Amino acid sequence: MTEAALPRTTKASGPAVPVIVEQRVGPPAALWGMGILIASEGTLFICLVASYFYLRFETHPWPPDGIAPPRVAIPLIMTAILVATSVPMQLAWRAAQAGRLAAARLALVCALVVQAGYLAYEIHDFQDQLNRVAVTRDAYTSAYYVLLGADHAHVALGILFDVWLLGKLARGLTTYRVNAAQAIMWYWHFVNVVTIIVIGTLLSANV
């Protein structure tokens, strides 16, 4: 194989030294990582919701005899309350990005209080429902409680993220913490969308 016959590009060009800009343009690595988590957990929820509907297509009636379909009003109100916390989470990130530490902390605390209150109520309600209708009764109860429980577990994880972020913000702002605030904000947007879908799925038994 002669030197001349070896493959070459016809144009070995390009900048002599590429310029690294002052301000990062693309999303930070933290946001990519959170995107991966959202993709994975989102797919898990899609599988659980699909399983719910798969079982529903096979079973008549749905819900089975002796089980009342879920209440509509309270779950919708609670979902709206949770989804509303997307606003303070977004404000918290914006404030952190602008360097306004006190505002960021305040917005985060507001979101956290509402989210924790939501979860506390939901856990109480979950246990209450379990006492009345056991999870081991049939496929409907299995699908119902596991789907709902998975949603609550992800809310709990989000609350842990919030507490961690508050702890970090107690010591000031850094690029790392601003990126973390953005990632955790995205996590909450994701959880809120999932909650809408999960509650919608469970309430569809009324249709």
Which residue lies nearer to other proteins by CB, 12 or 170? 12
Q: Please report how close the Cβ of residue 84 comes to other proteins at its closest, in angstroms.
A: 27
Which of these segments, 69-77, 114-122, 168-176, 185-193, binds other proteins (CB under 8 A)?
168-176
Q: Which of residues 79-98 bind other proteins (CB under 8 A)?
A: none
Which of these segments, 69-77, 86-94, 107-115, 130-138, binds other proteins (CB under 8 A)?
130-138
Burial 107-142 (b: 16+ CB within 10 A, else e): bbebbbeebeebbeebeebeeebeeebeeeebebbe
143 binds other proteins (CB under 8 A): yes
Among 119, 135, 156, 196, binds other proteins (CB under 8 A): 135
DSSP code, position 25: -
What distance in Å separates the CA atoms of residue 84 and residue 68, rounded to the nearest whole number? 29
Angle (deg, nearest 10), helices 175-203 and 139-169: 160
Residue 91: partners with Cβ closer than 8 Å, 6 or more residues away: 103, 107
Yes or no: say if 177 and 169 are a contact pair by the CB < 8 Å rule: yes
130 binds other proteins (CB under 8 A): no
Which residue lies nearer to other proteins by CB, 32 or 121? 32
Yes or no: say if 130 and 184 are a contact pair by the CB < 8 Å rule: no
Q: Interface with other proteins by CB under 8 A: which residues?
A: 1, 5-21, 24-26, 29, 32-33, 36-37, 39-41, 43-44, 46-48, 51, 53-60, 62, 64, 135-143, 146, 160, 164, 174-177
